[in-house]
A = this chain, B = another copy of it.
Amino acid sequence: MAVTIKDVAKKAGVATSTVSRTIQDHSSISEKTKIKVRQAMADLGYVPNFSAQSLASKTTKTIGVIMPVSDGVAFQNPFFLEVIREISKVCNEKHYMVSLASGKDTGELLESIKMMARRGTVDGFIVLYSTWEDQIIEYLHEANLIYAMVGRPYLFENETLYVDNDNRLSGKDATNYLLQKGHTQIGYVGDDLDQVVTIERMAGFRDALQEAGIAINPQQSILMTDSDNATVTQPLEKLFEHQKTAPTALVVSDDMLAVTVMQRLLMLGYQVPMDVSIISFNNSIFAKMAYPKLTSIDINVPQLGQQVALKLIDKIEEKEAPFVKMIIPHEIIERETVASK
C-alpha cells in the first residue's frame, strides 16, 4: 500500500489535519511545523491520493479539453495538437490533469461531455473551436459549467472567458500587405464556413479593400469551399475565368487550404508567386513545408494555449474572477509566396 496522510502525521508527530493543511500551504500553520511535516513527506515519499482529495474537496483538479467533431479535414489541422500540448504544459505546472473529450459527431461528443460533467470528473472545460450555433456550448452554458474557449464565441460572448486573435484585424493586415505590394485585384478563399474565425478573416479582407476604395464583387473575388477541399478546382477556375477580373493575389483562410489552392493553381497553369501571390493564416508546419514556402500570418498558438489554460484555472480557483477576453497578437511571416506587382 502507498503511504498515506496518516503515516506522515505519525512520523511528523502531528494530526492529519495539520498535514493536510501544510499540503495546501495554509497560512494558519507555522513555518516550523510546515518544515517538519514536509520533511516527513519527503522521507516517506508521500504523494497525496488524487481520488481522496477530489472526493473530500469536491474539486477534481482536472480540466476537460473539447476537440472539434472529428469528421472533415479541420480535425487534421496541426493547430489542435499544438494547442493541446500548450494546455497540457500549463496543467502540468499547476498540477492539473487534462482529460480529453472527442467524438465522431456532435451527439457522441455531447454524451461524452455530459458524462464527464455529471460524474464530476472535471472542474472546467476548454473548447478548442468556435462555430455557429453549437449544441455543445449551449449545453455547457445551460448546465452552468465552467468553460473557456479558444476563439471568439458565437453565443454568450459577453459572459464567456475566451482567448483569441483579432481575426478580423489579421484578415485586414493580410490584405493590406498584398495591397502594399501593389496588388489591386485580390481574392479571398475560405473553407469551413461554420468556423467563426473564417468569417472574421473574410470580414477583415473586406475592410481593407473598402478602405482602399476598391469595390468588391463577391462573385469575382470570394470563394468558399467545403472543408475537405475536394472541390476547389472548378470554383477556382471560375475565379480566374475572366482575364480582367482574375485576381493577382489571394488571401487564403488557412495554410492547409493554401497548399491545396497552390496545387490546383499549378494545374490550371498559374505559378505562385509569379502569376498569383498567396498569403494565408496560422503559420503551421504546412506553411514551412510547402513549396514555395508560404507567407503566412502567425497566430501565436503557444500563447493561445497557455493563456486559456491559465485563465480557466484562475476562474476555477477563485470563482469571482470576472469574464475575460484576451486577444493575442498576430504577425506576418514573410516567405516566398508573395511577389510585388
Contacts of A104 in B (CB 8 A): 89
- In angstroms, Cα B102 to Cα A47, docked, is 20
Q: Which of A113-121, A147-155, A320-328 binds B?
A: A113-121
Of A10-18, A34-42, A258-266, the one contacting chain B is A258-266
Is residue A108 contacting chain B, with contact meaning CB distance below 8 A?
A: yes
Q: Are B67 and A75 in contact (CB under 8 A)?
A: no
Q: Does A185 contact B (CB under 8 A)?
A: no
Residue A20, interface by CB 8 Å = no
Interface residues of A in 18-77 (CB under 8 A from B): 47-52, 54-55, 60, 62, 65, 67, 70, 73, 75-76
Q: Which residues of B contact A111 (CB under 8 A)?
A: 92
Residue in B62, B85, B112 whose CB lies within 8 Å of A70: B85
Residues of B within 8 A of A48 (CB): 119
- The residue in A51, A103, A120 that gathers the most chain B C-beta atoms within 10 A of its C-beta is A51
Tell me the complex Cα distance, A116–B95, Å: 10
CA of A89 to CA of B111, assembled, Å: 12
Point out the residue from B80, B229, B263 that lies within 8 Å of A81, measured CB to CB. Answer: B80
Q: Which residue of B lies closest to A67 (CB)?
A: B85
Interchain CB contact under 8 A, B88 and A118 = no
Q: Are B92 and A112 in contact (CB under 8 A)?
A: yes
**Contact across chains for B120 and A102 when beta carbons are under 8 A apart:** no
Please determine whether B81 and A100 come into contact, CB atoms closer than 8 angstroms: no
For A98, the chain B residues whose CB sits under 8 A away are 99-100
* Chain copies in the assembled complex: 2
When C-beta atoms are compared, the residue in chain B nearest to A80 turns out to be B81
Mark A241-283 against chain B: 1 for CB-CB distance below 8 A, else 0. 0000000000000001001101100100000000000000000
Cβ of A139 < 8 Å from any Cβ of B? no
Contact with A95, one of B80, B115, B256 (Cβ below 8 angstroms): B115
State in angstroms the CA–CA spacing of A76 and B76 once bound together.
11
In the complex, A51 Cα to B97 Cα: how many Å?
14
Q: Is the CB of B291 within 8 A of A47?
A: no
A97 to B85 alpha-carbon distance, docked (Å): 18
Q: Is the CB of A89 within 8 A of B62?
A: no
**A73, B285: Cβ atoms under 8 Å?**
yes
Question: Quick one: closest B residue to A60, CB to CB?
Answer: B51
> Which A residues fall within an 8 A CB radius of B?
2, 47-52, 54-55, 60, 62, 65, 67, 70, 73, 75-76, 78, 80-82, 84-85, 88-89, 92, 95, 97-104, 108, 111-112, 115-116, 118-121, 229, 256, 259-260, 262-263, 266, 284-286, 289-291
23 interchain pairs, CB-CB under 8 A = A2-B118, A48-B119, A50-B60, A51-B51, A51-B54, A51-B55, A51-B60, A51-B120, A55-B55, A67-B85, A70-B85, A73-B285, A75-B85, A76-B78, A76-B81, A85-B102, A88-B102, A89-B102, A89-B104, A97-B99, A98-B100, A229-B289, A263-B289
